Amino acid sequence: MKTVLVALGAAVLLAAVAVSAAAVTSLLPSPTRGVLTAAKEFRVLSSTATASASLTVNGVVQQTTCRTRGKTTFVSVAGGGRLVIRGVNVRGSGIPMALLSAVADLAGSHQLLVHELSDRLSHSSVIIDGTPTIDGRSALALRLDNDGPRVDLLVTQRGLRPLGLSYRGAGVLGSSTLVTQPLLHRTSFHPGC
CATH superfamily of 33-191: Lipoprotein localisation LolA/LolB/LppX (2.50.20.10)
Q: What is the pLDDT of residues 42-83, one digit of tens each?
A: 999 999 999 999 999 999 999 999 999 988 999 999 989 999
Tell me the domain boundaries of the chain: 1-30, 33-191
Give the Cα separation of 121 and 111 in Å (integer).
15
Structure confidence at residue 146 (pLDDT): 87
**CB environment 166-192: b (16+ within 10 A), e (fewer):** bbebeebebbbbbbbeebeeeeeeeeb
Q: What is the pLDDT of residue 193?
A: 87
Dihedral sign, CA of 54, 55, 61, 67? negative
Would you say residue 166 has pLDDT above 90?
yes
